[in-house]
Copies of this chain bind each other. A is one copy, B any other.
């Protein structure tokens, strides 16, 4: 089963009707890897969407336990993939083995956590308002609400996490958990990896007796538009560039039936340093921050791209220390040549900007990314300069010095929406700067204290989202169990007999879940 075919996966079967064949590249050498991948034709894209649509009513009605078993089975299949698989991912992405192994564990762990949520049942959002036949002036009918999947979901994976944000990543797991079949558009940066993972999912689907079409995968450039415009697709999940995300949102909004898009796009993840912390542990912060900026060649969505401090001798010393720490970081191979080219373009723009000064970093050499540190005038933030707010995807960061708290407050007002913001401070000064937490809440999905934003825990409380342009919809998250809710919608049953209600809403509460009954949370049998 694990020999790569390079075919699309449609309705559980392989399909290669097109004449365009693509090759995957070795991320370190840029050389084509063996094997070809068949770009999907328009007919194949439609067939994939249609397969998902046919699977939808069957998959939805299977119930949460069966879907949980499917997610667990995918996790098991993923974990069972051998060294060949890991080697493939490493070749396609230039990411180190340990990182890929860790990312695989995170991906299967996420699937198992979502299975747990399915069994817990809170995602169902069960609400029951019982009839009040004696109410005046009018009786109240019996009303019961739960949530179902919105329908087939198109998922576009990211290049930077070839497992955790790709084929079986957060968006796929969330959609499947919600009861939505998936059509996955494989990323051109890791097509072989995508096929390994797709095989694992298909195999799990067969073992778990899922409907054919519960998961489909298509290859190719430009085929995504056919997918997003297909009437059977009811929502889109995307992780990638601002430009790509915006394009998908526009496509989705201009359909005859507009659909929601959750696009996780661009964030510069400001870190704000308070003077007390710099005085007591500036050197340590410089080392840790340099590590966070350069982690994974700076290719994390939550990479700290903006470092803000209050003018002081401590901050000046810190900037020196940070520069020294950044200089010590070696060059790194990026995911692919396109990513490296984008990084170089971003650096060029910073070099050319009159309000930005280069602090440290070796000149770029062909093939690898050198860490870079810049300093920018605060007026760029105050005036809303676009350049400063554009994510430079790679191991670079920008330092900004503000005169005082008032200027800090004004500068933060100038920030666009972010995935994260981080405060580094001592206990007492953090309490004195309570206003910072209040102000930053408006801008971000996650606030961190005395930590670093690279590192996104998969759990119930995580938010990996935030106001535009961090995402296209601040009401969602693409990491953590709340991610499932993006693909759910409520349905209400009025005056329904028990026998026709879904299990979640029956009097006997056969799922044993917590429900909101007449305004009170309860596991009671009614």
Which residues of A line the B interface, CB within 8 A? 56-57, 61, 102, 116, 120, 122, 125, 127-129, 137-138, 140-141, 143-145, 148, 150-151, 234, 249-250, 253, 257-260, 416-417, 427, 430-431, 434, 437-439, 441-442, 444-451, 455, 457, 459-463, 465, 467-469, 472-475, 477, 482, 486, 488-497, 499-500, 514, 516, 519, 521
Provide the residues of chain B in CB contact with A486, threshold 8 Å. 475
Q: Is the CB of B472 within 8 A of A438?
A: no
Which of B448, B477, B482, B490 lies in contact with A477, CB distance below 8 A? B490
Q: Roughly how many angstroms separate A145 CA and B446 CA in the complex, as a whole number? A: 9
CB distance from A288 to the nearest CB of B (A): 14
Which of B150, B249, B437, B495 lies in contact with A451, CB distance below 8 A? B495
Q: With A434-B500, A438-B57, A489-B475 as given contacts, are A145 and B463 in contact (CB-CB < 8 Å)?
A: yes
Provide the residues of chain B in CB contact with A144, threshold 8 Å. 461
Provide the residues of chain B in CB contact with A56, threshold 8 Å. 442
Q: Is the CB of A492 within 8 A of B57?
A: no
Q: Roughly how many angstroms separate A462 CA and B127 CA in the complex, as a whole number? A: 9
Q: Is the CB of A461 within 8 A of B127?
A: yes
CB distance from A347 to the nearest CB of B (A): 26
Provide the residues of chain B in CB contact with A417, threshold 8 Å. 257
Residue in A127, A148, A441, A491 whose Cβ sees the most chain B Cβ within 10 Å: A491
Q: Roughly how many angstroms separate A438 CA and B144 CA in the complex, as a whole number? A: 15
Provide the residues of chain B in CB contact with A472, threshold 8 Å. 258
Q: Roughly how many angstroms separate A489 CA and B486 CA in the complex, as a whole number? A: 12
CB distance from A77 to the nearest CB of B (A): 23
Q: Is the CB of A129 within 8 A of B492?
A: no
Nearest B residue to A514 via CB reads: B521
Nearest B residue to A147 via CB reads: B475
Provide the residues of chain B in CB contact with A495, threshold 8 Å. 448-451
Provide the residues of chain B in CB contact with A437, threshold 8 Å. 496, 500
Q: Is the CB of A129 within 8 A of B460?
A: yes
Which of B57, B127, B496 lies in contact with A442, CB distance below 8 A? B57
Residue in A259, A446, A486 whose Cβ sees the most chain B Cβ within 10 Å: A446
Q: Roughly how many angstroms separate A138 CA and B99 CA in the complex, as a whole number? A: 13
CB distance from A461 to the nearest CB of B (A): 4
Provide the residues of chain B in CB contact with A465, threshold 8 Å. 489-490
Copies of this chain, complex-wide, total: 2
Q: Is the CB of B500 within 8 A of A430?
A: yes
Q: Is the CB of B519 within 8 A of A521?
A: no
Q: Is the CB of A143 within 8 A of B462?
A: yes
Provide the residues of chain B in CB contact with A469, threshold 8 Å. 257
Provide the residues of chain B in CB contact with A457, threshold 8 Å. 129, 140-141, 143
Provide the residues of chain B in CB contact with A447, threshold 8 Å. 491-494, 496
9 pairs of A and B residues whose beta carbons are closest in the complex: A463-B492, A143-B461, A253-B253, A145-B461, A446-B492, A129-B459, A127-B461, A448-B494, A474-B489
Q: Is the CB of B463 within 8 A of A491?
A: yes
**What would 5 more interface pairs be, CB under 8 Å, given A258-B468, A434-B500?**
A138-B455, A143-B462, A151-B442, A257-B468, A260-B475
Provide the residues of chain B in CB contact with A491, threshold 8 Å. 441, 444-447, 463
CB distance from A453 to the nearest CB of B (A): 9
Q: Is the CB of A449 within 8 A of B499?
A: no
A sample of 10 cross-chain residue pairs with beta-carbon separation below 8 angstroms, ordered by A number, consists of: A57-B439, A122-B516, A145-B461, A257-B467, A258-B468, A431-B499, A446-B491, A447-B496, A460-B519, A465-B489
Q: Roughly how many angstroms separate A122 CA and B465 CA in the complex, as a whole number? A: 21
Nearest B residue to A486 via CB reads: B475
Q: Is the CB of A120 within 8 A of B519?
A: yes
Provide the residues of chain B in CB contact with A438, threshold 8 Å. 57, 61
CB distance from A255 to the nearest CB of B (A): 9
Provide the residues of chain B in CB contact with A439, threshold 8 Å. 57
Q: Is the CB of B497 within 8 A of A449?
A: yes
Q: Roughly how many angstroms separate A441 CA and B150 CA in the complex, as a whole number? A: 10
Which of B122, B143, B455 lies in contact with A521, CB distance below 8 A? B122
CB distance from A324 to the nearest CB of B (A): 27
CB distance from A127 to the nearest CB of B (A): 4
Q: Is the CB of A129 within 8 A of B500?
A: no
Nearest B residue to A260 via CB reads: B473
Provide the residues of chain B in CB contact with A150, threshold 8 Å. 474-475
Residue in A234, A260, A474 whose Cβ sees the most chain B Cβ within 10 Å: A474
Q: Roughly how many angstroms separate A257 CA and B465 CA in the complex, as a whole number? A: 15
Nearest B residue to A505 via CB reads: B461
Q: Roughly how many angstroms separate A473 CA and B499 CA in the complex, as a whole number? A: 30
